[in-house]
Structure 1
Amino acid sequence: MSMPTIFVSHGAPTLILEDVPARAFLASLGQQVPRPQAIVAVSAHWDTDVPAVSLARKPETIHDFYGFPEELYRLRYSAPGAPALAEKVAKLTGAAHDHRRGLDHGAWVPAMLGWPEADIPIFQLSVQPGQTPAHHIALGRKLAPLREEGVLVMGSGSAIHNLRALVRSGDSSEPEPWAQAFDDWLAETVEKGDEVALADYRTQAPYAREAHPTDEHFLPLHVAFGAAGEGAQGRTLHRSFTLGNLSMASYAFA
């Protein structure tokens, strides 16, 4: 059986410490998909001009955030890397090599929750915010053969990512209408497998500018969609909001 690909919304780094529905969902990732042989994490937090892959044998846990609780900085995810597989991904995609890059929180937060034993090899593939969503769908397509080898392509970003629109009061504010409208459009479009609409979301999605002032947190979804192969359709794994307008929607593609 071919491995599905997934896109997860990883939220704020503090998600791993919180009792919210999105954390409970991410803690179930290991039950949502077959056990992978390895994980290719495509995180919104590794941005490069051209695709790059990490070949570290023992990826360090990168705490790429500031001003958060000390408990977060003590967390370590000690899963091994997969240099040989990363080299294969580099050949499939033409990506550059990075022998030192570890795991940023877009990779280690969902991995730590989903596979806490840290016994599945994991490495990262970067996104290119200067390139289009169509570029990232095409990048994902080059990864499609990995599905037959039991490799999980995990895009990690945010279904909605507008930091200015967050509600930081700590209450359970309902999303504003614009956020709900974009989130509903995304779920419908993903489940249809509408590649044209996903690639052209800037003009086709309602409130696209409000949902994503910049592209980088949405592009991992396009890679995951592309990696599922031609004609892929999505399946909703989870939908919720946190911090008011931050969508935590996650999807599987096959």
Structure 2
Amino acid sequence: MPTTPTTTQVADARIPAAHPFAGHLRRAQALEQAAPHRTWTPEDGPLPSLYVSHGGGPMPFASNDWLDPLHDWARSLPKPRAILVVSAHWESAPLSLSADRPADLVYDFGGFDPLYDAFRYDTPDAGDLARTVAGLMPDTQQVHQHTRRGLDHGAWVPLKIMYPSADVPVLQLSLPTEDPDELLALGQRLRPLRESGVLVVGSGHMTHGLPFLTRENFTQNTAPAWSVDFDAWAADALARGDVAELARFRDAAPGMPYAHPTVEHFTPLFVALGAATDPAAPVTTMLEGYGVGLSRRSFQAA
């Protein structure tokens, strides 16, 4: 018996067939039909926590250098029961949650093909996850839940690539501070979610010095020295599990402040590390290289 297409499927059907993301959707659907993505069970143990470099605006939709690795990463893990994402693009205190099932996404980018303003990502109701997250916070921690706020592009762009069927509940948690220690503590409070099949994601960009990029960085994808140096420093600290060194990034990291003239694209990393079983354990790099000169380094922590 035919089923009624979802709003996401209707919007996806309008993407021109030659667009790279339309090809991505066809490949993902064929793979799902051949080998359905297995849903997490308690026997799988805790899911890892993730730090994802999410690209510039909707640019990842047009590049197989983003599409294939992100989708392969998602398929390498059991499909989560739900996803909680902390994005660089929602800095808000007190701690806040997005709507359980918002009517619209946040299209917080400009200067791109209007096609992307019609993209949809209508995921199932995340009310149960919202109540669980609020319950994990201390009694002294006020948690505000918005009734309408949707996912911003730091959340929905990578997740639409990773889980294009839009069949996993997604909730966004605001980034309430720039302090690494406080964000590690926040991640630690979220750690029990992983044991129930919830994927905890920190979404940012390993380097994000947009004001300092040149035309050559965009046209030839060359990486400036400050981006390369910062990325190498972060990769070394992550490989050694040196959380204290990472927390000193403002003063210790080469390439600063060019790599992060504002720090909100780096600090979600501390939520992901805090949610790990051992924040000081070496992480597993899942994506590296550069996009328009910015480091795409992304990892998962067990």
TM bucket normalised to smaller: over 0.9
Go from structure 1 to structure 2 and tell me whether the alpha carbon gap of 1:8 and 1:229 turns closer, same or farther (over 3 Å shift): same
How far apart, in 1, do the equivalents of 2:209 and 2:125 lie?
32
The alpha-carbon deviation at position 57 of structure 1 amounts to 2.6
Q: What amino acid sits opposite 2:196 in the alignment? A: E
Q: Deviations over 1:61-116 (max 9, x none)?
A: 22112222111111101112311211211221333222222111111111100000
Consecutive unaligned residues of structure 2, counting only runs of 5 or more, are: 1-44
Aligned residue for 1:33, secondary structure, equals: coil
Q: 1:42, CA displacement in angstroms? A: 0.7
Larger relative contact order (Cα-Cα within 8 Å, sequence gap ≥ 6): 1
Matches within 5 A, 1:209-224: 209-224=257-272
Distance 1:59 1:124, change over 3 A: farther
| TM score, norm. by length of structure 1 | 0.93
Residue 181 of structure 2 corresponds to 134
Query: What's 1:157 paired with?
Result: 204
Task: Give the counterpart of 2:288 among 239, 245, 251.
Answer: 239
Q: Give the whole-Å Cα distance in 2 for the aligned partners of 1:57 and 1:17.
A: 23
Distance 1:173 1:67, change over 3 A: closer
- Are 2:194 and 1:147 equivalent residues in the alignment? yes
> Contact conserved, 1:22 with 1:240, CA < 8 A, in 2?
no
For the structure 1 residues 40 and 59, does the alpha-carbon distance in structure 2 shift closer, same or farther, using more than 3 Å as the test? farther
Is 1:125 matched up with 2:173?
yes
Larger radius of gyration: 2
- Once the two structures are TM-superposed, the CA of residue 58 in structure 1 deviates from its matched residue by 4.0
Q: 2:98 aligns with which of 36, 54, 72?
A: 54
Please say if residues 59 and 103 of structure 1, whose CA atoms lie closer than 8 Å, have aligned partners that are also in contact.
Answer: no
Contact 2:184 2:273 in 1 (8 A): yes
Whole-Å separation in 2 of the counterparts to 1:12 and 1:89 = 29
CA RMSD of aligned residues (A): 1.7
Worse overlay, 87-96 or 182-191: 87-96
Task: Could you tell me which runs of 5 or more consecutive residues in structure 1 were left unpaired when the two chains were aligned.
Answer: none
Q: Is the 8 A contact 1:51 1:128 kept in 2?
A: yes
CA distance in 1, matches of 2:59, 2:167: 22
Partner residue in 2 for 1:90: 134
**CA shift for structure 1 position 132:** 0.8
CA distance in 1, matches of 2:157, 2:47: 21
- Does residue 1:24 correspond to 2:42, yes or no? no
Kept in 1: contact 2:47–2:195 (CA 8 A) = yes
